[in-house]
Structure 1
Amino acid sequence: MESGDDDEVLPRIPPPALPPAPRPALSAQAAALFAGGVAAGLVAGAATCTATQGGLLIGLVDGRRGRDRAAVGWFLAGRLASHTTAGALLGLLGSAVSLPPQARAALLVAAGLMIVVFAVRLMRREPACAPVPPRAYRAPLLGAATILVPCGVTLGVELLAVSSGSPLAGAAAMAGFVLGTAPAFALLGYVLRRVSRTRLARLAGVVAVAAGLWTAGTGLSLGGWLATPAPAAAGTPQQKVTVWATRDGYRPGMVSAPAGVPVEVVFKVADPGCTGTVTIAGRDVALPATVRLPPQPPGTLRYVCGMGMYAGFITFS
């Protein structure tokens, strides 16, 4: 049958375009950073973070509250939540949301004093007299507060989250790091809960007081508020100097550079540890890195590791 003149030929409509398949790059990056965070927590972060932040666990073991087995779990949950949130913000907004060294130093001093108060309460077994959160919220809030007292390895992971440029990848890196350090914190919490019920509580309190004073001292050092005598300068001033970050500090601890001209400081890493992040000229730098300093006046420039434990000096002349 022939088609009439009135027959309408419909145009061929192409099928709707399918949305592009999601790229696996982001998820792969997040997975890689998560695995790297777990490794950093297990290998390098367990000792340094428990030493720096573990004193806050003392706030959970005074008297009756030390018998709550769930307290350490809530502490770790608060720690995971705060670090994951911080990682997402760092990945989203970059270094704009990271604390400057001076603010971090003040928080270290405050945390150290808080640890001392907790330790004294543990030794005296008296009711809480410090401004602490209510019982129901104390454990997760103390765990969340550990983000304000970062150890050197934490700072390195935070800088990694900043460089990722992705909230998912940044959160994955920080979450992996917290999970890597969780076994050490759980063990420390278990030991503290056991000790708080015995005569060793006073000894544990003394150790905690020392840890609190050490934490406050690192804050004073990081902020430059603790006078540190600079060693005598040695060698001929050079516009490019090399400094090695070791487990025991920076080598050489004192270098000479000419004043009035730009200077390059090449930081290399000999051993992973606290010195892997350096605070110099008011900013945090993850090592290895080359720091280019503008012309400096005659005098001494002090730099310090991210925890305020180890310092080095550059003498400009």
Structure 2
Amino acid sequence: MRERGGLSVEAVTLFVGGAAAGLVAGTASCTAAQGGLLVGLVGHRPGRDPALVAWFLAGRLAAYTLVGALLGLLGSAVGLPPRARAVLLVAAGCAVIVFAIRLMRGGRHACAEPVRPSGYKAPLLGAATVLVPCGVTIGMEMLAVSSGSPLSGAAAMAGFVVGTAPAFALLGYVLRRISRTRLARFAGVVAVAAGLWTVVAGLNLGGWTGEAAPAAAGPAARTVTVYATREGYRPAAVSVPANVPVQVIFKLVDPGCTGTVTIDGRDVVLPATVRLPPHRPGSLRYVCGMGMYSGFIRFS
């Protein structure tokens, strides 16, 4: 039910729920996937102005709120398919590596007078994080789609940004401190590793890694159950009969990246039952929304 002349109860509920999801489940995954853009802001030009991080968060809030409103208005038509997200993850990982190298080079001039970055760079980089969604973000986007309301969709996404804001603020503070010391080189090495991890995750999500399916585990069956945990999907490989319809029951054990699965070219928020059409003998690979964890279904 919606209230005229004020915020709807649904919008307020979604805002609170989004904030809780961001604080509890989205903090680690989003800072890991999107923190590289903050490295690019703070590490490239180590200014002392803490307002930079605030502008970064403001740009992020504006972008997510707008996307949430569009999702609520237009539905899944404005959502990015898995392959498009994979390309963005690879591009973001490459950008993080470039930013990290600049951070390491900047660490050699820790005593130099800091340069104040352009006024528009911080909010633009914050807004760009919407192009690199973490696994929990995808679940929030689907929630915005299902709301069917621009106000409710915007509230869900805005609440999610508010919930993750403390982690980004802390990351920005740490980066500003490190970028003016000799630790910048060490932080740069860690950021390079994060960038490579993001690139691999994008390749994994797009199905471009060329991994061979591992040996199947368990007896063949037309209905199988897979558990989504913090460490991945269990069992990691299952065997089912070929040329018959199969349903996969995904059960969510732990909140986080594995809570959204990309399977057969579509995104699914868990828990859910996925019905697959008959497949020829072979393997079907599925991944979490961030491309970090994968599983296999072997048809034999």
Same fold, TM exceeding 0.5? yes
Can you give the 5+ residue segments of structure 2 that lack an aligned partner in the other structure?
110-116
Q: How does 1:1-317 map to 2 (within 5 A)?
A: 22=3, 27-62=8-43, 64-125=45-106, 135-317=118-300
- Which one-letter code corresponds to 1:305 in the other structure? C
Higher-Rg structure is 1
Q: Structure 1 residue 26: deviation in Å?
A: 7.4
The Cα of 1:66 is off from its aligned counterpart by 2.9
Report which stretch shifted further, 274-283 or 231-240. Answer: 231-240
SS of residue matched to 2:233: strand
Supply the AA of the counterpart residue of 1:135.
S
Which letter does structure 2 place at the counterpart of 1:237?
A: A
The root-mean-square deviation of aligned C-alpha atoms, in Å, is 1.8
Question: What residue is the counterpart of 2:113 in the other structure?
Answer: none
Give the Cα–Cα distance (whole angstroms) in 1 for the partners of residues 208 and 243 of structure 2. Answer: 26
**Equivalent residue letter for 2:271:** P
Q: Which amino acid in the other structure matches residue 67 of structure 1?
A: R
Deviations for 1:139-186, whole angstroms, at most 9, x for unmatched residues?
111100101111111111111111111111110000000000001100
Cα contact 1:26–1:169 (8 A) shared by 2: no
The whole-number CA distance in structure 2 between the counterparts of 1:50 and 1:27 is 30
Residue 244 of structure 1 aligns to a residue whose secondary structure is: strand
- SS of 1:226's partner is coil
CA contact (8 A) 1:61 1:67 kept: no
Q: Which amino acid aligns with 2:249?
A: V
How many equivalent pairs are there?
291
Contact 1:63 1:197 in 2 (8 A): no
Deviations 1:32-65 (A, max 9, x none): 1100000001111111111111111111223644
CA distance in 1, matches of 2:262, 2:83: 10
Instruction: Write out per-residue CA displacement over residues 194-250 of structure 1, whole angstroms, 9 at most, x where no aligned residue.
Output: 100011111111111111111111001100111223221133321111111011001
Report the 3-state secondary structure (helix = DSSP H, G, I; strand = E; otherwise coil) of the residue aligned with 1:135: coil
Give the counterpart letter for 1:76 in structure 2: L
Give distance in 2, aligned partners of 1:285 and 1:244. 14
Contact 1:112 1:215 in 2 (8 A): yes
Instruction: Please give the secondary structure, in 2, of the residue aligned with 1:209.
Output: helix
Q: Secondary structure at the match of 1:61?
A: helix
Contact 1:303-1:313 within 8 A present in 2 as well = yes
TM-score for the superposition, normalised by structure 1: 0.88
Change (3 A) 1:255 1:24: farther
Q: Which amino acid in structure 2 is aligned with residue 204 of structure 1?
A: A
CA separation in 1, counterparts of 2:152 and 2:23?
19
CA contact (8 A) 2:46 2:179 kept: no
